[in-house]
Structure 1
Amino acid sequence: MPRSPNSRDATSSGRRAPGRPPVPREQIVAAALAILDEEGADALSLRALAQRLESSTATLYRHFDSRADLLAQVVDRIFGEIEVDPGQAATWQDACGALATAMFQVLRRHRNAAPLIGEHVPVGPNALVHRERALALLLAAGFSPALAARAYTTLARHVLGFAMQLNQDAAAQRREDTDVSAHLHRLDPDRFPATVAVADALPVALEDEFEFGLRLIITGLEAARTGEARD
């Protein structure tokens, strides 16, 4: 049956047939973070993300220039979860400790993210806010700009270094610690007297190592700040 002269389809009118609906950027980043948490960074491809969202890679490219761009926004989403107000702390030392611990706890929830953060300096809006808070409290405490910058990077790398060791699940870590402890207790005390002497205290739990190291860094920063003020 011939068409009416007034009838037009999507092609003849110059309009494209409707495709898949757009996916909000926040939903894409949330799905990408879920893949990162569940399967690791290697599994986070645009194709895998599109499949999870029941969308297409073309839809993703409307929001992100590349996989690297997507990963950068996932990392910044993680920085946005760091919730701490350094102004509530009694001292700058307490504030630094609170910021570092808060970041460590966030990376504990996202154990596969630490290597991504280590690859590139985060410069997203949430990461910039976190950095600004830390630097502001150091400057307010009397650190020079140069010392404040070094103090911040030292604290950040301490957090990141320990976060990279969080990939093993808790049960497996306990089994490994038990095996290591048993091995140390079986050592010959004549050959390894120092190790045997401290065997009851080894291995040190990762969380305890993190807190101990953090206190040492902050104590050292206080000495550096005081020495800088005297010079």
Structure 2
Amino acid sequence: MSDRTGSEGRRQRQRQRPTKTGVVLSERLIVETALRLVAQHGAAALSVRRLGAALGADPSALYRYFDSTDALLLALADELIGRAQEGWTATGHWRADLRAIGLRIHASYRSDPQAALLAAHRTTGRPHETRAVETILGILRDGGFPDRLAVRIYHALVDQALAFAAQDAAALALPDKAREADETVWHQAYGTLPADTHPNIAATFRLLAADMRESGYPFALELMLDAAAALRPAAEGAR
């Protein structure tokens, strides 16, 4: 899908006639189909030809909804952010709410590793993302963090979640043999290092091998929340 220009009205028009497979195109249908294809084929799936074939539509019809590949990619990223917010409700406790949001963002991107590799580093400016930014800043400001500190913690929270999600997604997106080979390294390579040359690894490698099977994100998130609590002003509700 190469870049094309067009008016905002043209981008917003809906296709009223069914495609040859009997479906009516919509932005949501295109995004969901693109996510499915990306999961199967990676970045190569983001093409007019593949999407058109999967939707049973003339490829040119997709330009009524997205005028470039990049616009579609941003919509995929925003969809992952939206899924992270589905079903979440605030508890009123800043630490619990930030923990839940961080874990949800991380899990949403990990659930679609191929899409995460393409989109975790992008800023969409779309509705789901702007709602997430508003929500997180509101939690911090209502939790007593001054505005400057709230912004810095917001930045660190989101970048941390997305950075871990991208790293974990890259591992999940590996071919099975490569992923299995990586997992055995901790036992085959590190587990055989002698204590006289690598005393710290020899003393801890069983713990290390077990811990490295899981994402480091949940513990890293707790460390960041501890730091935020230490920086938070003592006065409750003070901005």
- 1:124 equivalent in alignment to 2:126: yes
Q: Taking structure 1 as reference, are residues 84 and 92 closer, same or farther at Cα in structure 2, changes over 3 Å only? A: farther
Which residue in the other structure is 1:166 paired with?
169
Per mean C-alpha deviation after superposition, the further-off stretch among 64-73 and 20-29 is 20-29
* Native 8 Å contact 1:76 1:126 kept in 2: yes
Q: Taking structure 1 as reference, are residues 174 and 210 closer, same or farther at Cα in structure 2, changes over 3 Å only? A: farther
Name the aligned partner's letter for residue 183 of structure 1.
Answer: A
The alpha carbon displacement at 1:206 in A equals: 5.6
Residue correspondence of structure 1 range 16-35 to structure 2 within 5 A: 23-35=25-37
| Residue deviations 1:5-25 (CA, integer Å, cap 9, x gap) | xxxxxxxxxxxxx99576222
- 1:187 equivalent in alignment to 2:193: yes
Per mean C-alpha deviation after superposition, the further-off stretch among 18-27 and 34-43 is 18-27
Which residue in the other structure is 2:202 paired with?
196
The CA distance in 1 between the partners of 2:212 and 2:143, in whole Å, is 32
* Native 8 Å contact 1:86 1:98 kept in 2: no
Which residue in the other structure is 2:219 paired with?
212
Give 2:91's match in structure 1, choosing from 88, 91, 100.
Answer: 88
TM-score of the pair, normalised by structure 2: 0.78
Residue correspondence of structure 1 range 83-162 to structure 2 within 5 A: 83-88=86-91, 91-162=93-164
The CA distance in 2 between the partners of 1:169 and 1:117, in whole Å, is 15
Name the aligned partner's letter for residue 117 of structure 1.
Answer: A
Q: Taking structure 1 as reference, are residues 190 and 138 closer, same or farther at Cα in structure 2, changes over 3 Å only? A: same
* Native 8 Å contact 1:29 1:73 kept in 2: yes
The CA distance in 2 between the partners of 1:180 and 1:207, in whole Å, is 13
Structure 1, gaps ≥5 residues long: 1-17
Structure 2, gaps ≥5 residues long: 1-16
The CA distance in 2 between the partners of 1:85 and 1:167, in whole Å, is 27
The alpha carbon displacement at 1:225 in A equals: 1.7
Which residue in the other structure is 2:42 paired with?
40
Name the aligned partner's letter for residue 141 of structure 2.
Answer: L
Which residue in the other structure is 1:54 paired with?
56
The CA distance in 1 between the partners of 2:114 and 2:235, in whole Å, is 38
What is the aligned residue count? 212
Q: Taking structure 1 as reference, are residues 35 and 19 closer, same or farther at Cα in structure 2, changes over 3 Å only? A: closer
The CA distance in 1 between the partners of 2:220 and 2:192, in whole Å, is 28
The alpha carbon displacement at 1:84 in A equals: 4.8
Name the aligned partner's letter for residue 66 of structure 2.
Answer: F
* Root mean square deviation of aligned Cα: 2.7
Q: Taking structure 1 as reference, are residues 51 and 228 closer, same or farther at Cα in structure 2, changes over 3 Å only? A: farther
The CA distance in 2 between the partners of 1:109 and 1:133, in whole Å, is 22
Q: Secondary structure of the residue that 1:50 maps to in structure 2?
A: helix
Q: Secondary structure of the residue that 1:23 maps to in structure 2?
A: coil
| Residue deviations 1:64-88 (CA, integer Å, cap 9, x gap) | 1111111111211222212253522
Name the aligned partner's letter for residue 209 of structure 1.
Answer: G
Question: Runs of 4+ in structure 1 displaced over 6 angstroms?
Answer: 227-230
The CA distance in 2 between the partners of 1:33 and 1:150, in whole Å, is 31
Q: Taking structure 1 as reference, are residues 20 and 177 closer, same or farther at Cα in structure 2, changes over 3 Å only? A: closer
Higher-RCO chain (CA-CA 8 Å, sequence separation at least 6): 2
